[in-house]
Amino acid sequence: MSVITCIEDLRVLAQKRVPRMFYDYADSGSWTESTYRANEADFQSIKLRQRVAVDIEGRTTATEMIGRPVRMPVAIAPTGLTGMQHADGEILAAQAAEAFGVPFTLSTMSICSIEDVAARTATPFWFQLYVMKDRGFIHSLIDRAKAAKCEALVLTLDLQILGQRHKDLRNGLSAPPKLTLPNLINMATKPRWCLGMLGTPRRQFGNIVGHVKGVGDMGSLSEWTAKQFDPQLSWNDVQWIRERWGGKLIIKGIIDEEDAKLAAASGADALIVSNHGGRQLDGAESSIRALPRIVEAVGDRIEVHMDGGIRSGQDVLKAWALGARGTYIGRAFLYGLGAMGRPGVAKALEIIHRELDLTMAFCGHRRLVDVDRSILLKDTARL
Ligand code: HOC
């Protein structure tokens, strides 16, 4: 492929270059994948109002997310096994985000560790926390994130058990990949990926290997999660985590208004409207559909962000118009990473930024911060 003009181009290239089990891991949802598909599709049914003969010179998409200046309201989402899409994936994505001027969020389930990313970047990143049964380990993760000067803790509440992803089961997903004949045959067709992996020592879950038992022999993702993650997680845990962390806190995984009110009452700085990219409860509402009701339910008691289905700047603008003061891209950056490493992530960010800037202009605005719901065709924005 010679010219990359949109996120779909990056997806196609990533599919060619990344071993099947890791490409499929990123590009799948749970069970029938209905929520995964709805996340993208529901953006399409919202229509924008074009305005003409309006001064659109000197535009800016700059704003703030939890008080941090950002070039556009888009952060890199925390995604598991990112260092398996491309060698040193988390480091490269964090560097691309830093150079672009948007936040990078590191997953607990990353391949590169908190310390690896901190050593190779200068701008504080955000750290996403999963709550496991071993509270001593959670304390140590929080302390490591503090020592690395992470700027915010993103606490995920919607993955104490794992939604079934058929492709991961069929592919026998593990990190590092097991050297079975089908895996070896598939990897032989991905020479760039293999060369990159040979050049890095980072092939296991960097934050937890050596701390949590059974990481090396992760048989299946769901069995492993069932053993390690705490099914008794409650809002009381949010309180002690918030106290121990002591910094900016973002609650991720809210798709229901009642939970949104609890998140606002928890004292967190922001919540992320999210159904985990359609990877958990299949049949859950799409994030963009849930967003307006959640914004209405919490008012200005907490900053509202969203993720799920964002593949373009048009999507970011629609989410902003519906009240999201920040959005997160997961698959959109993973495709760039798998396709071309750090330049691929930079490309994904540039594509989305250009689309956001031009679409905002078509809607008759020069500054994103001035954009509100009035850019949406009323009947279509109710969904
Ligand atoms: C091994 C445990 O967010 C996902 C990720 C991480 C899941 C934890 C897997 O796959 O949705």
Query: 48 - beta bridge partners?
Result: 376
User: Is position 31 within any domain?
Assistant: yes
145: nearest Cα among 253, 223, 248: 248
pLDDT at 217 > cutoff 70: no
2 domain-assigned: no
Which atom of ligand 1 is closest in space to residue 25's alpha carbon?
A: 10
- Residue nearest atom 10 in ligand 1 by C-alpha distance: 80
Q: Is 173 in the pocket of ligand 1 (CB under 6 A)?
A: no
Tokens 């399409």 -> residue? 44
Answer whether residue 62 is part of any domain: yes
Choose which residue among 79, 84, 108, 162 to substitute to test ligand 1 binding: the one with the highest number of ligand atoms within 8 A of its C-beta.
Answer: 162
Confidence band, pLDDT 50/70/90 cuts, at residue 224 = confident
Q: Residue 213: is its pLDDT beyond 80?
A: no
What's the average model confidence in pLDDT over 8-21? 98
Active-site residue 276, yes or no?
yes
Give the bridge partners for 304, in sequence order.
271
Give the number of domains in the chain: 1
Assessment of whether the complete model's pTM goes beyond 0.90: yes
Q: What pLDDT, on a 0 to 100 scale, did the predictor assign at position 36? A: 98
Work out which ligand 1 atom sits closest to the CA atom of 165. 10
Average pLDDT of every residue of the chain: 95
CA angle 161, 136, 115 (to 5 degrees): 90
62-118 per-position pLDDT tens digit: 999 999 999 999 999 999 999 999 999 999 999 999 999 999 999 999 999 999 999
pLDDT at 129: 98
Of all residues in the chain, the percent with pLDDT exceeding 90 is 89
Q: Describe the crossing of helices 34-44 and 287-298 by its angle, rounded to 10 degrees.
A: 80
Task: Measure the CA–CA gap between 280 and 284, rounded to whole angstroms.
Answer: 9
Confidence of residue 374 (pLDDT cuts 50, 70, 90): very high
Q: How far apart are CA 332 and CA 310, in angstroms?
A: 7
Per-residue confidence at 1, pLDDT binned at 50, 70, 90? low
Question: Which whole number is the average pLDDT over 148-161?
Answer: 97
CATH code, 289: 3.20.20.70
On whether residue 25 sits in a domain, the answer given is: yes
Is 65 part of any domain? yes
- Which pLDDT value is given to residue 380? 84
Whose CA is closest to atom 9 on ligand 1?
A: 221
Residue of 150, 72, 64 lying closest to 114 (CA atoms): 150
What domain range includes position 375? 7-381
CA distance 296 to 150: 30
| Residue 1 belongs to a domain | no
Spacing, Cα 221 to ligand 1 middle (Å): 8
Q: What is the ipTM of this complex?
A: 0.96
Residue 163 CA: which ligand 1 atom is closest?
Answer: 11
Q: Which of 279, 282, 307, 328 to mutate to test the pocket of ligand 1 (most atoms within 8 A of CB)?
A: 279
3-state DSSP assignment of residue 146: helix
Residue 90 lies in a domain: yes
pLDDT band at 218 (very low <50, low <70, confident <90, very high): low
